[in-house]
Structures are given as structure tokens and as C-alpha cells.
Amino acid sequence: MIENFEGKVAVLTGAGSGFGLECARIAARRGMRLVLVDVQQDALDAAAAEMRALGAEVLARRVDVSDAPQMEQLARDVRQHWGAPHLVFNNAGVGSGGLVWENTLRDWQWVLGVNLWGVIHGVRLFTPMMLDAARADPSWRGHIVNTASMAGLLNPPNMGVYNVSKHAVVSLTETLYHDLSLVTDQVGASVLCPYFVPTGITLSERNRPQDMAHEQPTASQRISAAMITKAVDSGRVSAAEVAQKVFDAAATGQFYVFSHPQALGNVRSRMDSIVQGANPPDPFAERPQVGEQLRAALRG
């Protein structure tokens, strides 16, 4: 738990938009030193300029979080400039949809690379630094927050690659929480599981690797993109509100962070079916019209 954020160091991936940008704004207002990471240079530059205008010290780095050497260089830069970070927000992510058998190998590599490997790299590189700092100073406190999704607790159809990536992040973070508890009381972990929140993730295609630029989406992928965009754009919870929940979790040690707790009924239904050995429940039971629309679109 981090009781006082002033003067502490925060590493924020996906800092150019959405939750990353909103967390950077909160961190700047709380007097933190910021390491801003994004793959989109113009968004990164804008975020860095805004945070400096707020008075924050900023280290900005354009990094593809799926790339191990780039992440390793980032970790070296952070250590050299400010030492171990106190808050690490492994947040960079991309969206993807479509029937699971229609996703190409590159679809899998891209989405798992950013959504999962980006978190893996953040955990494997920054956790040892944080533990070293904790051992050297009994008063030192740190926290790691990994962005998953409600899709990491559910399995909505026509979103298979994304679901897989986010389930893995939930598992990784729960394991990290338990592993940390074995060795320290000074470093904690949380997993963020947002539902439909306007963040810019529906525009992920803008950062697709160049070798994927020529690929045309399948019908199911176009249907998924349209439905998710509609759901996200109609979201009533803002990215800023979710960012505040991230900081509250880091301050209190709360593990699960939800943007829409009311959606947990679907999670409960899934867990009950697992315990009872029943088949997976209808993920649209609470909003059957959504499932009907999706089924009609895919069969049409």
C-alpha cells in the first residue's frame, strides 16, 4: 500500500490515452515523477507536455511493450534516472474480436504480445527492482497494477483472442499477489477489470503492426468491432473515474478493481456453473437482446 504518493515514481504504459493518461494526470497532481510509455509517438508527446505543464518531472519513452529488448531498455532507463518505481501500471492494451477460428496467427501474436507479454515484461523487469528497494528500506512501499478486463472473468463470444489475453492477465496477477505475499509485506498487486469504458481501445487498429496493415477483417470481426464500439461509446463510467479507482487500490491494497461491479452477476453465474459442473451459461442472460442481435448478424 502506498500511503503518500508525493515524490514517488510511477511507470505507466499506454500513457497516451485512456486509463494510462488519466492515471498520469492523477499522479502529476499528487506530485509523482512520471515514466510515460506509449507506442504512439504523437499521443506520448502530448501526454508528456501536459504532465510537464502540471509541474511533473517526466521521462517519456516510445516503447512497444510486446518487445522484450525495448522493455529491458526501459527498465534500465528507469533505474538509471530514478531507481525502483513505486507504482507500476501495466496498462497498454489492444482490442480484437471475431470468431475464434477466424483469427490469424498474426492476430494472436499481436494481441497476446501487447495484452499479455506487455504485462509479463512489466512484472518480470520491475518487480525485482521493487523488491530490492524494499529490502534496502523497511519503510519503502510499492504497488503493481495490471490491466485485465471483465473479459478476463467472462468469455463473451466473438472475442476469443481478447478473452484469452485477459484471462491470462488475471491469472498472472493473482499469482503475483500470492508470490509477493510469500516474500514481502512492502509490495502489493492489483488487477483492473474494466467493463465498457470509453478509452480509445476501439481504435487499436491505428497501431497494428505494419505487416498486418493489408489484412482485411472478416465479417465476424467487423460485427464485433461495431458492437463493441457501440457498447463502449455508450458507457457511463469515465476513464477518469476508473483511474481514481486504480489509485484507491494502490493506497488501500485492494486487489480486484472493477469499473462496473453490477456486472459481477455474470461472473457469479459462470463460477456457479463451474462448481456445479454445468455447461457455460448464456453470457447475455441479463441482456438477451444483445445475444439475439449478434446471433442474427453472424447467421445472416
pLDDT of the residue at 213: 61
Q: Which residues contact 300 (CB under 8 A, 6 or more apart)?
A: none
Q: What is the pLDDT of residue 154?
A: 93
Handedness of CA 229, 88, 237, 173 (dihedral sign): positive
* Domains defined for the chain, CATH in brackets: 9-299 (3.40.50.720)
Report pLDDT digits (tens) over 132-155. 999 999 999 999 999 999 999 999
Tell me the pLDDT band of 185, cut-offs 50, 70 and 90.
very high
Look at residue 198 in the predicted model and tell me its pLDDT.
74
Task: Select the highest-mean-pLDDT range: 183-187, 201-205, 216-220.
Answer: 183-187
What does the alpha-carbon distance between residue 234 and residue 264 come to, in Å, rounded to a whole number? 19
- Residues 152-166 have pLDDT tens digits of 999 999 999 999 999
For the entire predicted model, the pTM comes to 0.93
* Predicted local distance difference test score (pLDDT) of residue 249: 98
| Chain segment 204-237, per-residue pLDDT in tens | 565 667 676 667 889 999 988 888 887 777 668 8
Q: Say if residue 202's pLDDT is above 60.
A: no
Q: What percent of the chain has pLDDT over 90?
A: 79
> What is the model's pLDDT at position 80?
98
Res 66: pLDDT: 98
Q: In this structure, what DSSP letter does residue 280 have? A: P
Catalytic residue annotation: 162
Question: In the numeric block, which cell numbers belong to residue 138?
Answer: 523497511
Interval 29-75: pLDDT, tens? 999 999 999 999 999 999 999 999 999 999 999 999 999 999 999 99
Report the alpha-carbon distance of residue 281 to residue 269 in Å, rounded.
7
Cβ neighbours of residue 17 under 8 Å, at least 6 residues apart?
A: 38, 40, 43, 199, 200
44's grid cell: 506520448
Please choose, from the candidates 164, 218, 294, 209, the residue with its C-alpha nearest in 3D space to the C-alpha of residue 39: 209
Closest to 162 measured CA to CA, from 174, 148, 176:
148
